[in-house]
C-alpha cells in the first residue's frame, strides 16, 4: 500500500490576507474571528473617515487559514500570494 501525500506549502507560496479598504465597512469581524489574533486595527483616521481599518499585524503569526476572508460580509479580504 502506498501512502497518500498531503499538500504542503512552503512559506513563500502560502496565501496571506489582502485587505481592500474601499470595500471594508470596519465591522472588525475578521479581528474577532482570527484564531491566532494576528489582525490588528489601525488608529482611527480623519474626521471625514473616522474608522479604524484592519490590517495584518503579524504575518509570522498568521496560519493562512482564510477565516478572515471567508467570514468578511463584504468580501473586503482576499487571500493573495505572498
- How many helices (H) and strands (E) the chain has is answered by 2, 4
Residue 12 belongs to a domain = no
pLDDT > 90? residue 43:
no
* pLDDT score of 2: 46
Q: What is the mean pLDDT of the chain?
A: 85
Q: In this model, does residue 28 exceed pLDDT 80?
A: yes
- Look at residue 54 and tell me if it is in a domain: yes
Per-residue confidence (pLDDT) for residue 51, from 0 to 100: 78
Question: Whole-prediction pTM value?
Answer: 0.76
Write down the pLDDT at residue 1. 45
* Predicted confidence band of residue 42 (pLDDT cuts 50, 70, 90): confident
Domain membership flag for residue 64: yes
The domain in which residue 41 lies consists of 28-81
Q: Do you know the residue count of the chain?
A: 82
CATH of the domain at 56: 3.30.70.20
Are 68 and 27 contacting, i.e. CB atoms less than 8 angstroms apart?
Answer: no
The C-alpha cell 473617515 sits at: 49
Amino acid at each position: 500500500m502506498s501512502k497518500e501525500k498531503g499538500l504542503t506549502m512552503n512559506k513563500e507560496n502560502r496565501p496571506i490576507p489582502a485587505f481592500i479598504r474601499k470595500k471594508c465597512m470596519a465591522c472588525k469581524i475578521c479581528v474577532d474571528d482570527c484564531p491566532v489574533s494576528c489582525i490588528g486595527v489601525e488608529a482611527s483616521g480623519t474626521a471625514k473617515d473616522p474608522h479604524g481599518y484592519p490590517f495584518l499585524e503579524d504575518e509570522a503569526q498568521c496560519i493562512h487559514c482564510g477565516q478572515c476572508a471567508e467570514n468578511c460580509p463584504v468580501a473586503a479580504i482576499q487571500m493573495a500570494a505572498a
